[in-house]
Amino acid sequence: MGTTTQGNAASSRGIANAKNEPDHLLVLVHGILASPSDWIYVEAELKKRLGRNFLIYASSCNTYTKTFTGIDGAGKRLADEVMQVVQKTDSLKKISFLAHSLGGLFARYAVAVLYTPRGLSGGKPDDPASSTVANSQTACSSRRGMIAGLEPINFITLATPHLGVRGRKQLPFLFGVPILEKLAPPLAPIIVGRTGSQLFLTDGKPDRPPLLLRMASDCEDGKFISSLGTFRCRILYANVSYDHMVGWRTSSIRRESELSKPPRRSLDGYKHVVDVEYCPPVASDGPHFPPEAAKAKEAAQKEPSIQHTVEYHEIMEEEMIRGLQQLGWKKVDVSFHSAFWPFFAHNNIHVKNEWLHNAGAGVVAHVADSLKQQESSSFIAASL
């Protein structure tokens, strides 16, 4: 099994001297308290399935406790790391992200930092020689905008808490233990720092929208929706059950009323992948932070009871969904109910360890084929 490409000086030199001239950068972003080694199996499989056009790069700038320092800080570090790779690899033309768990939120923040609006996209940043668009497909992307000076293709998340965390079995660090969930809101910042308060939407002053709500809009912090909108394909992989780290609702950006009983039979060729649904964009004037939300947030901060927290999160969850549904999403439901170790669902979905979590091999195959499909579409469009 090959080792994962990490963000160090040696690997950077290897990237710069690569002979295969890859043109598509695929950035792998791990989750909380994790490291690039989480991607060893995925990277090896994707290299076999995708071929030489892809440069697969596992981010290493937010390892272990660095994930506690806040989604915004981690996102900025990730953006800096991606730019270093791009600037050292002249052959790159396209970019995609594949992120697991909390890494999906880091990636969403990073792409807003790396975003160049349409009309200002003239190639890679800091590259004066890149003054023209190389082909018709890149020209089309330029009209949408660019990410790190490259054409955005895929933005894929696996079990990411896009709506934050709330309620039973929705918390990404308490393993679904009920007594801990009751204590979670006040303890989250103590346990996992700024990241904890951001996931519970209690960060900042009461009258200021929490970070995850701002990340469901274009605001002064960044063009979060516009940057996501530049990607040709956005895919959410979500565990429908047995994931005691991230719940189905938050990882699939759905309301509670939109959750229906999932199929129990896997799709042909993709074991444990049970359903695929495309959700077109829904017109909206974007998320809001009404006065009642500010009052509920203040109550959740000062008296973090279950009642106050749930009331506040219900308001915020609806507003975040309204913001994120301005974009179209492909939603892929995954069920490990028949796996030997179904309770490992959160790590199965990206095969964190090949021996313990290999039930997710079918999910990885589905991810690879989704990437190949978009790559083929890009090739056909460029040939027309």
- Of 103-112, 201-210, 322-331, 370-379, the range with the lowest mean pLDDT is 370-379
Q: What's the confidence (pLDDT) of residue 324?
A: 97
pTM for this entry: 0.86
Q: What is the CA radius of gyration of the chain?
A: 20
* CATH numeric code, 1-175+220-282+327-384: 3.40.50
**Mean pLDDT, the chain, integer:** 84
Say if strands 94-100 and 24-29 run parallel, antiparallel, or are unpaired. parallel
pLDDT at 1 over 50: no
Report the run of H or E that residue 222 belongs to, with start and end: strand 222-223
pLDDT at 86 over 90: yes
Give the model's confidence band at 304: pLDDT under 50 very low, under 70 low, under 90 confident, else very high: low
- Of 60-69, 86-95, 289-298, the range with the lowest mean pLDDT is 289-298
CA 335 to chain centroid: 19
CB 147 within 8 A of CB 120: no
Across the range 115-122, mean pLDDT stands at 76
CB 207 within 8 A of CB 159: no
pLDDT at 351 over 70: yes
Across the range 116-128, mean pLDDT stands at 60
pLDDT at 2 over 70: no
CB 327 within 8 A of CB 268: no
pLDDT at 296 over 90: no
Which two structure tokens, joined as six digits, stand for 65? 């406790």
Which tens digit of pLDDT belongs to each residue from 166-195? 654 455 444 445 545 555 555 555 566 789
Across the range 5-23, mean pLDDT stands at 54
Sheet with 24-29, edge to edge strand ranges = 54-58, 24-29, 94-100, 151-158, 233-239, 329-334, 273-279
In percent, the amount of the chain with pLDDT more than 90 equals 64
How many Cβ atoms from other residues are within 10 Å of residue 131's Cβ? 8
- Pairwise pLDDT comparison (159 vs 306), residue with the higher score: 159
How many Cβ atoms from other residues are within 10 Å of residue 324's Cβ? 26
CA distance 286 to 279: 17
